[in-house]
Structure 1
Amino acid sequence: MHDLLFQGRVVTTSAVLEEGWVAVDDGRISRLGQGTAPAARRVEDHGDALILPGAIDAQVHSRSQKGQEDFLWSTRAAAAGGVTTIADMPYDDGFLVSTADKLRQKAREAGEQARVDFALWGTIAPDDGPLHIPDMARAGACGFKFSTFGTDPVRFPRIPPDLLAACFEAVARTGLIAGVHNEDDELVRARINAVIRSGITDWRAHGLSRPALAETLAMAQIYETAAGTGCSAHVVHCSVARGYALCESYRRQGFDTTVEACIHYLVLDEEHDVARLGGRAKINPPIRPRAEVEGIWAHLAAGNVTIVSTDHVSWSQSRKSDPVMLKNASGAPGLEVLYPLLLTELSRRDLCLSNAARLLAENPARLFRLTAGKGGLSPGRDADITIARRESRQYDPTASGHAFADWSPYAGRELDWRIAATWLRGQQIFDGQSVSAEPGTGRFICPDRPSGRQ
C-alpha cells in the first residue's frame, strides 16, 4: 500500500508510458510502471494528462534588480510553471556571490523565501582569482559561473583567458562544472561602437552589435580551455546553430563539454519578435533570425542540446522600454511558462515529449551533480512531479498573479499546454490556480559528492 499514486501519461527520459503510474512513499518515488497500478492510500488520476518530472531551471536571476523579484516571487512563478528546482545565478544587484560566506548568506536568505528547492551558482571577483573556489564548493555551490564579456567590472566582470584557465583548473579539482557566458569581449565592443557610429538605434542595433561570430569565438576559447585543464565546461546559452556543432565536436573528442538552449532561442526570432517587441526582447546573446532558430531545433532533435533553461530575470518595465535599443537591460522572465512553451513546440514539431523530461530534468540534474535526489522520474528520487494537460490558450503574464513582472516577450503567444499541478517532494504546491507553498518550503540543494567536498 503506497502513500500516493499518480496515474496518467508518464513521461520518462526514453518514452511516454500510456496508462502509466508513479508510486510515491515518504516524499520519494518508489516505482513506476504501465498498466495495472498498485494500491495506494491516495490516488491522483489525471487521465490523459502528462505526468512529468518537476523541471530544474539551470539559469535564474532572482536578485538582478533591487526592489524587484527576489526568491519570494521567482519561486512562486516556478511552482506555477512546474519548475521544482531553480539554480540561481551569482550576479545579484550589489552582492557578488564570490566567497563561501556570501554563498552561505544567500542560501540562508533564499531559504527563508523559497517556495521550491534551489541550488546556487558561485563566481569569483577577478582580484581574488580562484582563491575561494574550493571553499565555495564545500559550502554547496552547484557550479561556477564566469564570463568572457564584461557587462560590469564589479557586478558581472570579464574573466580574461589566463585567469579563466586558472579558475577552470580550480573548478576541475572540485568535480563541479564551469559555466561561461560566451561572447568575445573585443569583438562585441568594436561592433557596439560601429553600430553607434552608424546611427542605428532601433531593434536592429542589438543583433548588429553582437554577431554570431562573437559567440563561436568565445565558445572555441571556452572549450579549448576545458580541453587544456580537464574541467567540465558548460556554455550557459547559445543562440547560433554552429555553437552546438562545436560542443558536439569536442564531446566526440572525449571532453566533457555541454551547451544550453534558453527557451527564447527556441521560440522567438529576430525578424518577427525582436522587431515587434524592441527592448522587451533584448537578451544577451541576442535572439537570432528564424534560420538560426530552426538550426538549433535540428540540433535538439539530434541530441546535441544538453539542457533548456529560461535565463529568467524580471526587470521593471522602465528598464526594458527605451526606444534606443542598446540602452535597455538584457533578459526576460520565463519561469511560469517554460514547460508550456517547450511542450507546445515539441508537440507541433512531432518530437517526442521525452525530450522535455531529458532537457528540463534529467540533464540539469546530471550537470549539477544532483541525481541522488533530482532528475527524471526514477525510484529513489524526490517526488517532484508536474502535471500538464492539453489546453489551447493565449499566454497573459498578468492573469495568474504568480509572475512578478507584468510583461513578457511571450505575452499573447498561443500555447497548447497548461500546468495543472505541481508537487514538491510528494507535497502539492500548485493546483492549477493557486500556489500553496509557503515561503521557506524550498530547500537548499547541494551537489551529491563533488571531489574535495568536506
Structure 2
Amino acid sequence: MIGSEQAFRTTVVAGLVETAEGTFERGRVLIQGGTVSAVVPGDVAPGDGACPGGARVIDVGESFVLPGAVDAHVHSYSHAGEGLRAATSAAAAGGVTTIVEMPFDGTGPVNSRERLEAKLAKVADEAVIDVAVLGTLEPGGGWRRAGELVEGGVVGFKVSLFDTDPFRFPRIDDAELLDVAAAVGEAGSTLCTHAENNEIIKALLADGSNQASTDPRVHGRTRPPVSETLGVLTAMEIAADRGNALHLCHLSTGRSADLVAWYRGQGVDVTFETCPHYLLLTEEDMVRQRGRLKINPPLRGSADREAMWQAVISGTASVISSDHAPWPSSLKDHERILDNSSGTPGTETLVSTTLGACLRRYGAGKEFSRTVAALTENPADRYGFGGRKGRLAPGYDADIMVLTPSPDWQIEASELHSNAGWSPYDGHAPGARVTLTISRGDVVWDAGKGLAGAAGRGAQVRRS
C-alpha cells in the first residue's frame, strides 16, 4: 500500500471521509508534522493546493478513512505475560491509536504517585501507540490521593463495587464510594465503575453446586442481570448526590441502558460503555467456547444484545471498548467454569468486529457514524483529551485508521499480536478489516507489511 517510508513534508490520505452531513464521500486528509492540517473533499489532484507537490499520497480507494480508535478499556498488566508492548502492538494492528490503560495490575494497583510513575516509565519504554492511564483509590482512605494522581496525569479513576481481588481489584463499599466520588469530582476528573452488586454475587458464588458446575451457563446464573442494574443504580445515585462525572464500564443489559438514559435526563453526568462481545455474542456462545467466554458481567441473551445495539445507534451507549483482558488459554480452559479467569483479549479485534457488524446491519449511514463516534471521539471526550484526539480536524493529532470492507477476510488467532495466543473471534469473518493505522503521522500498521511502530514511540496522553 505504501512505497518509500522516507520523511515527507506532507502526507495525503485519500479515501471515503465523513462529511459534515454524516455521509462518507471521497476526500483527503492532509498531515503535516504529526497533526492534521486540512480535511478536503474530492479526489486527489496533484498541484491543486490540497495535494502539494512532493507530498506522499496514500490513496485507499473506497476504504473508509476514520479517526484512530480510542480503546477506553485495556488491561495490559493483569497477566504478566502481556505488557504494554504486546497490548499496544495488538491495538495498533486493530486501528487503535490510543488506549486507556486500567490500573489493576497483577503486581499491584496504580493507587499512588510512586506506582503511577512506574507505570508511566513502562509507557515510555514499551508503548507503540499513545496511552492514557487510569488510577484507582483503594479502600481505607485512598480517596485522599486523588489530587496527586490527577497532577501526575491520570485521566480518570476506576473502582469496583464488587470484590474481585482484595489485593489487585478490591471493592469500594457504598459508604466510602461517597468519599471517592466527592474527591474525584473535586479533582476535576472522571470516576469509572465496575458496577456489579457484591452481596448478590457473593451469595450465589458461595453455593457449592455452582462452584462445582461444569455448565458454562452457571457463570450467568451467579451474576444475574439484577446484580448489574443494582450496581449501576448505586453508582448513579451517588453521582447524583456528589455531582461527579461518572462513566459506567462494560454494561451488558438493556435495562442498564434504560436506567442510564433516565438519570441522564435528570441531569446526572453519566456515560456508559458496552463491548463487542455484548454486541456480537450471547450466553449460548458459551456452550461452545466455555470458559473462554467467561466475562464479567456475563454474556446475556439475544434480547439484551439487540438492546445494546439500539443503545449504541441512539447514542445512549456513547462508548464501545474492548475490555482487553489477555489471559492465556491455560487460565481459561478449566472444566469447572467458575475456576476460569474472567475476560478475553480483544483490542486488536475491537474495530473490525464492531464496525463490520454495524455495516452489515445498517450500512454506512448515520448508525455507522454514531458507532464510529463511540470508538473515537466519545471516549476521547469523556477522558478529557477530546481536544487533540478522536477527530479528523485541523490541529488534531494525525491518528487515522483505514477500514476496508472485506467480506471474505477471517480473523486468525495465530496472526494476532497479543500474547494471549487466542481469540473468541478465531475464524470469524467480520466483514471489514483495518488495513492501515497512522499514529501522530507515523504508519504503525500496514496490513500488507505488518507492524511498523517501534516500542517506546508511544506517549502518555493527559487531560487537556
TM-score with structure 1 setting the length:
0.95
Partner of 1:6: 13
Partner of 1:451: none
Identity score, percent: 37
- Structure 1 CA distance for aligned equivalents of residues 435 and 33 of structure 2: 23
Q: Is the 8 A contact 1:384 1:424 kept in 2?
A: yes
C-alpha change, 1:361 and 1:198, in structure 2 (3 Å) is closer
In the TM superposition, what whole-angstrom CA distance separates every residue of 1:54-98 from its partner, at most 9, and x where no partner exists?
0010100000112x1101100000110010001110000022100
Distance apart, 1:200 and its partner CA: 3.4
Partner of 2:138: 125
- Structure 1 CA distance for aligned equivalents of residues 321 and 210 of structure 2: 35
Q: How does 1:394-433 map to 2 (within 5 A)?
A: 394-400=410-416, 402-432=417-447, 433=449
In the TM superposition, what whole-angstrom CA distance separates every residue of 1:283-328 from its partner, at most 9, and x where no partner exists?
0000111111011112222221110000001111110000100000
| Structure 2 counterpart of 1:276, from 284, 288, 299 | 288
| Structure 1 counterpart of 2:280, from 267, 273, 284 | 267
Distance apart, 1:199 and its partner CA: 5.5
C-alpha change, 1:190 and 1:14, in structure 2 (3 Å) is farther
Q: How does 1:332-411 map to 2 (within 5 A)?
A: 332-350=344-362, 352=365, 353-391=368-406, 392-400=408-416, 402-411=417-426
1:441 maps onto 2:453 in alignment: no
1:62 maps onto 2:76 in alignment: yes
Q: Is the 8 A contact 1:172 1:231 kept in 2?
A: yes
- Structure 1 CA distance for aligned equivalents of residues 216 and 191 of structure 2: 32
Q: Is the 8 A contact 1:49 1:389 kept in 2?
A: yes
Distance apart, 1:109 and its partner CA: 1.6
Q: How does 1:174-323 map to 2 (within 5 A)?
A: 174-194=187-207, 196=209, 200-271=213-284, 273-323=285-335
Distance apart, 1:33 and its partner CA: 2.7
Secondary structure of 2:427 counterpart: coil
- Structure 1 CA distance for aligned equivalents of residues 353 and 40 of structure 2: 27
Partner of 1:138: 151
Q: Is the 8 A contact 1:149 1:183 kept in 2?
A: yes
* Structure 1 runs of 4+ with >2 Å offset: 11-14, 193-201
Secondary structure of 1:127 counterpart: coil
- Structure 2 CA distance for aligned equivalents of residues 403 and 81 of structure 1: 11
- Structure 1 CA distance for aligned equivalents of residues 458 and 209 of structure 2: 45
User: Could you tell me which amino acid in structure 2 is paired with residue 442 of structure 1?
Assistant: G
Instruction: Number of aligned residue pairs: give it.
Output: 445
User: Could you tell me which amino acid in structure 1 is paired with residue 387 of structure 2?
Assistant: A
User: Could you tell me which amino acid in structure 2 is paired with residue 59 of structure 1?
Assistant: H
- Structure 1 CA distance for aligned equivalents of residues 389 and 203 of structure 2: 43
- Structure 1 CA distance for aligned equivalents of residues 208 and 20 of structure 2: 45
Partner of 2:60: 46
User: Could you tell me which amino acid in structure 1 is paired with residue 199 of structure 2?
Assistant: E
Q: Is the 8 A contact 1:151 1:158 kept in 2?
A: yes
Q: How does 1:11-26 map to 2 (within 5 A)?
A: 11=18, 15-26=22-33
- Structure 2 CA distance for aligned equivalents of residues 325 and 13 of structure 1: 49
In the TM superposition, what whole-angstrom CA distance separates every residue of 1:254-310 from its partner, at most 9, and x where no partner exists?
111001001111111111x11110000000000111111011112222221110000
User: Could you tell me which amino acid in structure 1 is paired with residue 381 of structure 2?
Assistant: R
- Structure 2 CA distance for aligned equivalents of residues 409 and 160 of structure 1: 33
Q: Is the 8 A contact 2:204 2:210 kept in 1?
A: no
- Structure 2 CA distance for aligned equivalents of residues 446 and 137 of structure 1: 9
- Structure 2 CA distance for aligned equivalents of residues 10 and 196 of structure 1: 55
Distance apart, 1:239 and its partner CA: 0.6
In the TM superposition, what whole-angstrom CA distance separates every residue of 1:25-78 from its partner, at most 9, and x where no partner exists?
111111213125512312111110110110010100000112x11011000001
In the TM superposition, what whole-angstrom CA distance separates every residue of 1:413-454 from its partner, at most 9, and x where no partner exists?
122111111101011111114111111010011111xxxxxx
Partner of 1:452: none
